[in-house]
Structure 1
Amino acid sequence: MFFSVIIPTYNRLPILQKCLTALEHQKDCSIVENYEVILVDDGSTDGTLEWFQDRQLEFPHLRCCSQSHQGPAAARNFGVHKAEGDTIIFIDSDLVVTENFLSAHAEALTRGYQNSDRVFTYGRVINTCNFENPTAEPYKITDFSAAYFATGNVAIARHWLLEAGLFDTRFQLYGWEDLELGVRLKKLGLTLIKCPEAVGYHWHPPFSLEQLPKLIEKEIQRGRMGVLFYQKHPSLEVKMMIQMTILHQILWGILTAGGRLNERTMAGVLQWIISQGKPQLALEIARIFLNWYNVRAVYAAYRELER
């Protein structure tokens, strides 16, 4: 099995360094004949390419290519076309993996192939804000994911991606490009195999109130891309995924008191929780009104589409 690990990146140099270093320290495994790491720089302005050029000898498995800023869907497609491996692994550039990451995916795929070649593996993603030692974070209930196909930590035969048509590059804003491809893979009959032994630690800075404007903008973008998702696959399943139902309107409307509980009215409470050393709890509470922004953005984008 020859793995091509594809990593799109945009202005994430500090954590990217940890990501690439971890991939260079993989345990040998007889099933893994070879592997390459394809870094696709999506127009970074933080010196990512210059950093790599000065350290090429430190990363013998790494191949680096670049494009103008077009978003992760285009970057991943670029990486797939450049890949030499028969099996693709997608991870994000803020993910730090363990030393048995590749071998775990390889072993799970090999077991799956005994019954069918229409399988792919999805590893475990653990969220952490520990930059110095991200792999020390324990698994938490909030790390659970029910996603069918998510590019944070997934391994799949390259030919299935090509047959499905790769990522839709119209998803240029935040959200849904991987799950939309997942719908097409599901129609091809592919089955997900959970692979909790292939662990990646997804780093993000500790939550602070200063992050809220960007988080709100992400939710608005996710709403707009959700409508594109629904355009392509107009089903109840997709409507539920993008929160475009009356149930979601009622739920988040009640929980936010019709939007009255928001980043302004909740600022004092959130800051107090952060000051108690619980930024993750503050973020989970903020997700309540962030979801309200998302639901409103979905309906706004849908009304715009109808016009």
Structure 2
Amino acid sequence: MFISVIIPTYNRKPILEKCLRALENQQLIDNKISQYEVVLVDDGSTDGTLEWLDKNKADFPHVYPFSQNHLGPAAARNLGVEKANGDIIIFIDSDLVVTEKFLQSHANSLTEGQEKLGDDRLFTYGWVINTCNFDNPTSEPYKITDFSAAYFATGNVAIARKWLEKVGLFDTGFQLYGWEDLELGVRLKKLGLKLIKCPEAVGYHWHPPFNLAQIPNLIDREIQRGRMGVLFYEKHPTLEVKLMIQMTWLHRILWGILSLGGTLNERTMSPFLQWLIDQGKPQLALEIARIFLNWYNVKGVYAAYRESQILQPKG
């Protein structure tokens, strides 16, 4: 198989370097993979990503860079598929650092899955382990909070190119944060594709340690996720999608109660969150902050849904 690893990136040069070097350091132990390439799509970065890569291109012989205006990850991944040469597509994010057996593990699982099922209606999904350790991201152990029940998520997934083309690639209407990959997953599920877990294909998702200065951006991201969630629901108006985007009375009551009706928010909780950070527990602080972040998300979903109903033509 010819594998094309597609990576959209936007202003992530420091961690992108680690991401690309890990992909150049792959150990292929048999002939399942005939060749591989890394299709990097720069989504309008302003941090000199492409200039840095051009100066260091000798270090990255598998990397083929492309660029577009800042149109979002859905458009970037579509461009990547268009430019890719492989029959197998692997999607990862540009802040993911993979192990040396990453590509081989996906190839093994794709081959074994096809033999077991008797057809190729499948894709493989690897582990994503979150870490704040920039110097040595792959040293982070797997944690219960790293578990994902997503059917199709582009953090670490391998799929035959033909299935992506059959369902029409990503919907570029998802220009804000969230849901473009899970929406594509709904369409893939309708084709009968089976998810094959591939825990041997490990990627370490780096993010900076949580601090209070990040909160405004995190709140904005949750509001964006709410708006895109409504777009997701409008395309697939099912109970399953409603549950995914938290557009139910259950979620409204749950996060309303946990946040005490919004009383527990970024202002009232800041002293406690800062105390946890000072105790060396930024990840725990972030998990607790999700109480009010999820409340912002639920409110964003309902606000966007009301707006969409107002804008719908009558009759």
Unaligned runs of 5+ in 1: none
Aligned Cα root-mean-square deviation (Å): 0.4
Separation of aligned partners in 1, 2:57 and 2:251: 49
| Cα displacement string for residues 74-120 of structure 1 (whole angstroms, at most 9, x for unaligned residues) | 00000000010000000000000000000000000000111221000
Q: Please say if residues 124 and 196 of structure 2, whose CA atoms lie closer than 8 Å, have aligned partners that are also in contact.
A: yes
Aligned to 1:50: 51
Aligned to 2:278: 275
Aligned to 2:154: 151
User: How does 1:4-83 map onto structure 2 within 5 Å?
Assistant: 4-29=4-29, 30-83=31-84
Separation of aligned partners in 1, 2:78 and 2:291: 33
TM-score between the two structures when normalised by the length of structure 2: 0.97
Aligned to 2:253: 250
Secondary structure of the residue that 1:214 maps to in structure 2?
A: helix
Q: In the alignment, residue 210 of structure 1 is paired with which amino acid?
A: A
Counterpart among 296, 301, 304 of residue 307 in structure 2: 304
User: How does 1:1-307 map onto structure 2 within 5 Å?
Assistant: 1-29=1-29, 30-114=31-115, 115=117, 116-307=119-310
Separation of aligned partners in 2, 1:16 and 1:52: 10
**CA deviation after TM superposition for structure 1 residue 28, in Å:** 1.8
Separation of aligned partners in 1, 2:293 and 2:57: 41
Separation of aligned partners in 2, 1:146 and 1:299: 24
Secondary structure of the residue that 1:7 maps to in structure 2?
A: strand
| Cα displacement string for residues 217-258 of structure 1 (whole angstroms, at most 9, x for unaligned residues) | 000000000000000000000000000000000000000000
Separation of aligned partners in 1, 2:5 and 2:173: 23
Separation of aligned partners in 2, 1:145 and 1:306: 32
Q: In the alignment, residue 236 of structure 1 is paired with which amino acid?
A: L
Separation of aligned partners in 1, 2:153 and 2:163: 15
TM-score between the two structures when normalised by the length of structure 1: 1.00
Q: Please say if residues 156 and 203 of structure 2, whose CA atoms lie closer than 8 Å, have aligned partners that are also in contact.
A: yes
**CA deviation after TM superposition for structure 1 residue 282, in Å:** 0.2
Separation of aligned partners in 2, 1:28 and 1:39: 21
**CA deviation after TM superposition for structure 1 residue 23, in Å:** 0.1
Q: How many corresponding residue pairs?
A: 307
Query: Percent same amino acid at aligned positions?
Result: 76
| Cα displacement string for residues 116-160 of structure 1 (whole angstroms, at most 9, x for unaligned residues) | 210000000000000000000000000000000000000000000
Separation of aligned partners in 2, 1:28 and 1:157: 19
Following superposition, which runs of at least 4 residues in structure 1 exceed 6 angstroms of deviation?
A: none
Secondary structure of the residue that 2:27 maps to in structure 1?
A: coil
Secondary structure of the residue that 1:70 maps to in structure 2?
A: coil
Q: In the alignment, residue 97 of structure 2 is paired with which amino acid?
A: V
Separation of aligned partners in 2, 1:120 and 1:90: 11
Unaligned runs of 5+ in 2: 311-315
Q: Please say if residues 28 and 103 of structure 2, whose CA atoms lie closer than 8 Å, have aligned partners that are also in contact.
A: no
Separation of aligned partners in 1, 2:182 and 2:283: 25
Aligned to 2:313: none
Separation of aligned partners in 2, 1:188 and 1:129: 37
Q: Please say if residues 10 and 42 of structure 2, whose CA atoms lie closer than 8 Å, have aligned partners that are also in contact.
A: yes
| Cα displacement string for residues 149-187 of structure 1 (whole angstroms, at most 9, x for unaligned residues) | 000000000000000110000000000000000000000
Separation of aligned partners in 2, 1:28 and 1:136: 22
